[in-house]
A and B are shown apart, each in its own frame.
Chain A
Amino acid sequence: MVAKLVALYFLGAVIVYILGKLSKKLAAWLTFLIAAYGAYLFYGINKAGGFSETYRLIGNFGFSFGIGPLSYFFGMMALGLGAVFVLAITSWDDNTPTLMFLMLTVLGAMSLITLSRDFVSFFLAWEIMTWSSFATLFLGRGIERRVAVTRYLIWSVIGAYFLLLAFGMIYAKTGTTLFTVAVERMAAVPFWWLFTVVIFLVIGFGVKAAVMPLHTWAPYAYPESPDIFTPIFSGLLSKMGVYGFFLAIFFFSLKFADYGVAKLSGVNVIGYIIAWFGAITAFGGALLAVKQKRAKKLLAYSSVSQLGYVIFGLALGTSLGVTGAIYHALSHAVFKGLLFLAVAGVIMRAGTDDLDELGGLIFKMPLTFIFALIGILALAGIPPTIGFPSKWLLYEAGIERHFVFITAVIFAASTAAFLYSYRFLFSIFLGQLHDEHRDVKEVPLTFIISYLVLGGLGVYWGLFPGKVLPLIENIALKFNLPALKTYALSSITTSLGTFNATTVGTLFGISFLIGLIIFFLTGKRNQVDQLNNFFAGEAVDQIEMHYSTNFYYFLERELKPIYRTSAETVYKWFSDFTVWFGDGVRKLFAGNAQVYLFYFATFLALLILIYWGF
């Protein structure tokens, strides 16, 4: 099974690359077909009741693969939504064979990550995912390439090395690289050891999930990646970080209970602290998103923020928290993919994602607007979209354990999300159309199909949480979490009460309709020119009136002290120090043979002293 997937994605990638040299269009369709077939295969694996495969490798290492509810959920999300994103590439202008190659490689790597059942194959797939997504950064528009490539690769390998250390420690202790066997054999390890492993894993996966303060690569790498790849990058790759996070928490952190680690309302202190990191990420990411001037960068910070919610939920480790987190991970993949895809469409047609240079595209790209609106509604957690139940569950998870402050921070993050959501929507689609965008056309058909699927799923899963919850419940049961109280197709009952997503969504829809009807039925409307509106009838020449520069100036002014505290200062200091130190060390190579002879003599003398002295 795994061999089939590997062959499909990686050989497919090579074939697509070669075909792409001849005909890009054809290769793009083939890319889509491969991605879709891969998702279908993955679906088939689970339907067939799972599998387990082992391959012998060098030394003590072997590869082992299998599937469970968690792998299925994340794998299906990555491959299924991945195929939807890939569809848009068929009519994307800046497509290159290399990009298609890398996209399939990334998808293949994600399928392996989710199926992997041992550290070596997991790490292998993880690193393939890293370098293939890294390579796409060279195919972007090159606005901040320098920073993006450097930060992304360095952060990724630092994360990967923490993982490697943790895996190595587990391997050294248990003598196996298989997940399940390792966990079984870790019955009586010292506390500090387990603690180190968990922290290493949390840092390692935290980098991919861009948890503050490990996030500084994301706001550069996401915008810099090719527009068509960004939905996969931000929507799906980051979810692999979440997947790993889940494993780290549920394989290991829960064992903290056996060591008498203090608990706060049933959540161990370490989890509680990580939850705080998640909450701060949610809030800080949103605040930073507010002041961004480029759409992709705004969404990148928003991704950081949304992943913060997910980490918050996972770190709590309660049924509600985990359910909400996984739901929100799916939710983020859907709406952030949709939004990035919409931005890709805007950039393809209008040539820029600079919010100051866009505006008034609503009549030129109405469908893009409508689907971007759905994405924004989901992002803000407004029914009837998928963001509503997922965020609701997360809030409840905080409230249920009486974590007042942390929940307040999460709420505040949502408020900030409204601010940047509005800026995004307004600056691109509303207001005055710029002259150079008079001839902008709507995006091509395949984009619209992708929009439709994503928007449709976003609303469907928002109205009927009962379609998603069984999958999450399977995961919870597998990891020995108590199931949620009850849920039906449209409603969820938790310890805090019941809410009915369908009813809420329908009510929202109905009130929207009523408003629309009132708008159309009542009052006499006089269509006037936009400028006429702006100047109250004064006769003024055509001038640019679109207002988006310094959109939230008042906010930026008030929050200046907060914006000034940044983890980047520390990293800057650290990297400057390393460079300074490295340069100092380099001076050891003085370039003078006498100096080298001096080292030689000193070293030998030193050794003789040490060995004869004792």
Chain B
Amino acid sequence: MVSPILIIAVSLFMAFSVPIWGMLFGKKVEKFVPLVTFAINLYIAIVNIPIALQHPIVVITAGFKPPFGINLTIGPLGIFLATLIQFMGLLVAIYVLSYKVPEPSEKFYMLLILAVMGASGIVMTGDIFNLFVFLEITSIASYSLAASAKTGGSVEGAFKYIVLGSLGSTLVLLGIALLYAQLGTLNMADIARQIGKVDTTVLVAASLLFITGFAVEAEAFPMNGWVPDAYTGAPFPAVAIFAGAIAKAGIYGIARIFYTIIGAPSYWHLIMIIGVLTLLIGELSALLQKDFKRLLAYSSIGQMGLVLVAIGAGTLDTIAGGLFQAFNHAITKGLLFLTLGIVVAGVGSSNLQDLEGLGKKKPYLGLLFFIGILSLIGMPPFAGFWSKILVVFSIIKANYIVYAVLILVGAAIEVAYYVRVLRTLYSGSYRGPEFSTSFLTGLTVTVLALVIIVVGFYPKLVTHFVYPAAKELLGRGTYIQAVLGGKF
């Protein structure tokens, strides 16, 4: 067994040694550092999958047994998300090999590794203060990534992200402090075990602080004001990481805290309401967007809203469906953002007007957009179909038929603007400059499209993970027992 803590150690080492590699072996080597890092990490994550599915992996640091000391606790949910995040990281790392990243490039690579490391840390840690530390690492790395394009728009977006993000992290910290003051422990399983002892008023305050704090990263309304600007301003590889890794970590934070640690169903419904508002507001805002990148950003908000609704509904099937949807969102949005990145590098604009007729001029890129969009709107035989049908069926089964209707209203709005995109891509004639796709960027998006199709044909590839993950979230006792041992 390779200890999953290596994911964090390797990332940290590699991130800070990027300039050294550059000095030792020349500038050219730097861009391979993220690739090597994520490849190693992904390997570590994958070899740990079978173990984590059997029984949560508890990694003890510095010889202190829980509840003392810092530990990692990686169950099915953690390993699923960690693998997903590292996979997205790896693909982005391949993509940046032939994508012109903003200078100074070594810092971009460093930030990329740190952002992904922070997100994986969030999903793996078993210590609530550690959770905050990783949240800060990933947030700060993301702020810098958002600003890295150094255009007016990107700096503006990053500024909004900093304002909201830092406030969010502070609230999370405040929530942690409240719990610590009451219980004197920071171990998540230990807090979960003793949550009944916490004063009700304090618990309510802490819960509300957590939900608003994590909502920033999870792109939930009304804490998602940063999303459209930061997504539009940031370079495409960074955006793929935002959608593919960081938003997932935000979702994880909410799910872990409200299912495992607090475990009070009264907040689940709040998550659903926030989710449905996020969904509808995100989709409605995208309706008239003229810029493809911004449109995708709003659509991303909408999709995260859907994930929150499904996770908040609180049955095994809905949570599994929500996690499936989160997976699809990472892969599909990754595909769309990265393909758009190739296009924008050539066309020089992400304005839909300038992309007219592109699908006919560049049939392969057009096909990739087509697959991505069909999957997003839930068409078979693509991955999105399964999560859509799973979420809708299970939410109706959980007696939330109104939410199912609202989800479908949101989905219909989504179709309305995506059909506009398709119409633009396939009508008129392309007037922009000639450009070619480099092999590696093309390979990255092809892999993502293949994942969408393969999962579409074998949904078991994902349900194999999301059902145990959902079971883990609903089974607090098992989690606590796995970490602390003994009877609960």
Contact = CB atoms under 8 A, between A and B. Distances in A.
B222 A593 contact: no
A129 to B, nearest CB: 10
A151 to B, nearest CB: 9
Contacts of A127: 378-380, 385
A597 interface: yes
Name which of A123, A142, A595, A604 has the most chain B CB atoms within 10 A of its CB.
A604
A158 B401 CA distance: 16
A578 B419 contact: no
Contact of A586 (B285, B359, B460): B285
Nearest to A583: B288
A516 interface: no
B371 to A, nearest CB: 11
Nearest to A132: B379
Contact of B397 (A123, A161, A171, A585): A171
A612 interface: yes
Nearest to A589: B228
Given A582-B413, A593-B159, A171 B460 contact: no
Contacts of A589: 225, 228, 285
A600 B212 contact: yes
B392 A164 contact: yes
B393 A585 contact: no
B55 interface: no
Nearest to B425: A138
Interface in A62-84: none
A596 B405 contact: no
Interface in A521-541: none
A132 B317 CA distance: 30
Given A161-B412, A164-B408, A582 B287 contact: yes
A111 interface: no
Contact of B285 (A58, A585, A603): A585
A127 B378 CA distance: 9
Interface residues of B, number: 69
Contact of A171 (B167, B370, B393): B393
- A146, A169, A589 interface centre (most CB from chain B within 10 Å): A589
A146 B427 CA distance: 8
Give the secondary structure class of A's interface. Answer: helix
Given A58-B460, A123-B389, A171-B397, A600 B381 contact: no
A60 B317 CA distance: 9
Contacts of A602: 222
B287 A578 contact: yes
Contact of A168 (B385, B386, B397): B397
A153 interface: yes
B389 A164 contact: yes
Given A171-B396, A582-B285, A589-B228, A124 B419 contact: no
Contact of B467 (A57, A59, A578, A607): A59
B164 interface: yes
A273 interface: no
B415 interface: yes
B284 A581 contact: yes
Q: What class of interface size applies to chain A in its complex with B?
A: 35 or more
Contacts of B411: 157, 161
A591 interface: yes
Contacts of B393: 167-168, 171-172
Contact of A120 (B223, B381, B389): B389
A554 interface: no
B423 interface: yes
Contact of B396 (A169, A585, A586, A591): A169
Given A158-B412, A600-B223, A58 B463 contact: yes
B344 interface: no
A335 to B, nearest CB: 32
B208 interface: yes
Contacts of B420: 150
A611 interface: yes
B225 A168 contact: no
B463 A59 contact: yes
A130 B413 contact: no
Given A59-B317, A157-B412, A171-B397, A596 B226 contact: yes
A597 B164 contact: yes
A130 B377 CA distance: 12
A228 to B, nearest CB: 19
A150 B288 contact: no
Interface in A104-155: 120, 123-124, 127-128, 130-131, 135, 138, 142, 145-146, 149-150, 153-154
Contacts of A158: 412
A15 to B, nearest CB: 17
A124 B163 contact: no
B419 A153 contact: yes
Nearest to A58: B463
Contacts of B399: 172
Contacts of A608: 204-205, 208
B201 interface: yes
Contacts of A164: 389, 392, 408
A588 interface: yes
A161 B388 CA distance: 11
A169 B320 contact: no
Given A164-B392, A599-B223, A600-B223, A582 B412 contact: no
Nearest to B156: A591
A489 interface: no
Contacts of A165: 392, 396, 401, 404-405, 408
A262 interface: no
Contacts of A154: 412, 415-416, 419
A408 interface: no
Interface in A158-203: 158, 161, 164-165, 167-169, 171-172
Contacts of A582: 284-288, 413
Contacts of A264: none
A479 to B, nearest CB: 27
Nearest to A145: B427
A453 interface: no
A392 to B, nearest CB: 41
Nearest to B316: A59
A261 interface: no
B461 to A, nearest CB: 10
Interface string A365-387: 00000000000000000000000
B422 interface: yes
Chain B CB within 10 A, most for which of A123, A582, A595, A611 = A582
Contacts of A169: 396, 401
B374 A131 contact: yes
Given A583-B288, A586-B284, A593-B225, A600 B396 contact: no
A22 interface: no
A579 interface: yes
Contact of B390 (A58, A128, A131, A604): A58
Given A59-B463, A607-B212, A593 B163 contact: yes
Contacts of B107: none
A135 B374 CA distance: 11
Nearest to B285: A586
A456 to B, nearest CB: 37
Contacts of A150: 416, 419-420, 423
Given A161-B412, A171-B396, A172-B393, 14 more contacts: A59-B317, A59-B463, A131-B379, A146-B427, A161-B408, A172-B397, A578-B284, A588-B285, A589-B225, A597-B163, A600-B212, A608-B205, A608-B208, A611-B207
**Which 3 A-B residue pairs are closest in the complex by CB-CB distance?**
A596-B225, A582-B287, A599-B222
16 contacts: A58-B386, A58-B460, A59-B317, A131-B379, A138-B359, A161-B412, A165-B392, A165-B396, A165-B408, A167-B393, A583-B288, A585-B285, A589-B285, A591-B229, A596-B160, A611-B207
Interface of A: 57-60, 120, 123-124, 127-128, 130-131, 135, 138, 142, 145-146, 149-150, 153-154, 157-158, 161, 164-165, 167-169, 171-172, 578-579, 581-583, 585-586, 588-591, 593, 595-597, 599-600, 602-604, 607-608, 611-612
